[in-house]
Structure 1
């Protein structure tokens, strides 16, 4: 299956496309207009307008502007935000990403594609090291423990794909990563002591990169606002392209796409971070736990 596009022939929606379409749908309904009015303004079919509002097709800038004009939205700040969303969505759709080689990433394909065009990630993890900071042995142990694959070749392909993601932390446009980790992440013996020692050493090394900020929330803080679940906030360079939030569940990746959700999770992240150790103290704790092992 290597080299094929697993999405070929399917109707694709994206997080950014759904967000853009939802905003335009809300504007249309506020004005009391029907999809046929939008179709007439675009010289397009009602079917195409419906696909736009569901995030199933990319949108050109002239179409976004035409719809904003039809809906009476003349605020250039609002229009600019929608244009930024449209551009980010187009960039994500046309990217011939390395991830398309890996069918094992099917459940994560949208997240990985967003990660590739993002400028910053803020991730809060309760039980494991974030994928961007994992060693191959640690990732392999997680895959085995997860039980999602029984075929060893599939596990190795998954590990290879996870390692490929880490190129985003270096190169010409390195991703800004803020990893907020519960102390349990450091002490969970994933793969055994040798694997964990190597993982903690790698985590300490990565924390010294200028674009990687690591904080550990120690056990002693007691109850805190991050105990419910882990989450990641994804941010983009385009002005007005609001953050999106990804939350893992047992069966799927849940996307929270509203500005309200993004603001809530960013505020929660900040509250957790205030309880965490300083970056330098976090690195010292990582090194201390590694020596204990």
Structure 2
């Protein structure tokens, strides 16, 4: 997904662009200004301001800073956060990553592209092992069970793309992954006993990476905030500064891009974590489940 010149051509909305535009829109409305005032400050058209607020075009640093000052925001830390968001979005729009070779990823492409430039991901999965921690056999069994593809070659390419994602856990600037998994995900016999034994062994092994934190929420935890949802919080700077939340259902992809949504899910994730076992006990439970198989 590539950005275009703000004043001409087809524009493309991106997750980070919408997050930045939404922040600026909120600031503008809070001080009671119309888009015409923003356009005048930038010596631009109202149409361009509208595109900026909808995340349709990349934003230049001088424009971000000018709008912050117009809206009464002079705190350098807050402005720097928005400038970093604008920079990250520009980089995302220019990226021509490996994921574009895999149309089988479908709506996952935008998530994978963001994961590739993210600093960290916190993910809660109650019923399956997170994609970044799946073995090829487990990922293949999930894809077959999903019954989305009829062509075996498409399944193989989808699995290959999932495995390529995992390179982020061991590259030169590895992704910080904090994965919280429900006990049910570890006991569901995806692909059969041999596949699950291999998958559980892989979880034990990957948990030893310094950038991976793995916790399990046991059945004994009872009711907790994660029972009705699964989600991932993607972080591009300091936690909370410019997070976006990704949630997936059987029929749709949902991006929650506002700071309020990010903070809400951050608190929910913390509450889920409090219901989970500490990493050492989590690994002990994984090994116990593996022995039972």
Same fold (TM over 0.5): yes
Aligned 8 A contact 1:88 1:238 in 2: no
Q: Secondary structure at the match of 1:247?
A: strand
The equivalent of 1:145 in structure 2 is: 145
Aligned 8 A contact 1:85 1:240 in 2: no
The equivalent of 1:125 in structure 2 is: 125
**Structure 2 Cα separation of the partners of residues 6 and 101 of structure 1:** 15
Post-superposition CA distance 1:74-94 (Å, at most 9, x none): 222222221121111112111
The 1:244–1:238 alpha-carbon spacing in structure 2 relative to 1, beyond 3 Å, is: same
**Structure 1 Cα separation of the partners of residues 239 and 287 of structure 2:** 39
**Structure 2 Cα separation of the partners of residues 43 and 284 of structure 1:** 62
**Structure 2 Cα separation of the partners of residues 265 and 30 of structure 1:** 24
1:98 aligns with 2:95: no
Give the deviation of 1:7 after TM superposition: 9.7
**Structure 1 Cα separation of the partners of residues 11 and 58 of structure 2:** 12
Aligned 8 A contact 1:84 1:241 in 2: no
**Structure 1 Cα separation of the partners of residues 239 and 222 of structure 2:** 38
Equivalent residue runs for 1:223-242 within 5 Å? 223-237=223-237, 241-242=241-242
1:69 aligns with 2:69: yes
**Structure 2 Cα separation of the partners of residues 167 and 81 of structure 1:** 28
**Structure 2 Cα separation of the partners of residues 121 and 270 of structure 1:** 14
Aligned 8 A contact 1:81 1:239 in 2: no
The 1:88–1:242 alpha-carbon spacing in structure 2 relative to 1, beyond 3 Å, is: same
Give the deviation of 1:204 after TM superposition: 1.0
Q: Which runs of 5+ in 1 are unaligned?
A: none
Post-superposition CA distance 1:134-174 (Å, at most 9, x none): 01111111111111111111111100100000000002101
Q: TM-score, normalised by structure 1?
A: 0.93
Q: TM-score, normalised by structure 2?
A: 0.93
1:274 aligns with 2:285: no
The 1:186–1:126 alpha-carbon spacing in structure 2 relative to 1, beyond 3 Å, is: same
Post-superposition CA distance 1:32-73 (Å, at most 9, x none): 333233223222222221111100011010111122222232
Residue-pair matches, total: 289
Aligned 8 A contact 2:3 2:57 in 1: no
Equivalent residue runs for 1:74-89 within 5 Å? 74-89=74-89
Aligned 8 A contact 2:180 2:217 in 1: yes
The 1:103–1:40 alpha-carbon spacing in structure 2 relative to 1, beyond 3 Å, is: same
Equivalent residue runs for 1:151-162 within 5 Å? 151-162=151-162
Query: What CA RMSD, in Å, does the superposition of the two structures yield over aligned residues?
Result: 2.0
Give the deviation of 1:238 after TM superposition: 6.0
**Structure 2 Cα separation of the partners of residues 245 and 61 of structure 1:** 25
The 1:221–1:239 alpha-carbon spacing in structure 2 relative to 1, beyond 3 Å, is: closer
Q: Secondary structure at the match of 1:250?
A: coil
Aligned 8 A contact 2:246 2:255 in 1: yes
Q: Which runs of 5+ in 2 are unaligned?
A: none
The equivalent of 1:174 in structure 2 is: 174
**Structure 2 Cα separation of the partners of residues 190 and 240 of structure 1:** 34
Runs of 4+ displaced beyond 3 Å: 5-11, 238-241
Give the deviation of 1:17 after TM superposition: 0.7
The equivalent of 1:13 in structure 2 is: 13
The 1:147–1:283 alpha-carbon spacing in structure 2 relative to 1, beyond 3 Å, is: same
Q: Secondary structure at the match of 2:106?
A: helix
Post-superposition CA distance 1:186-213 (Å, at most 9, x none): 1001011111111111111111111111
**Structure 2 Cα separation of the partners of residues 179 and 238 of structure 1:** 18
Give the deviation of 1:240 after TM superposition: 7.3
1:55 aligns with 2:60: no
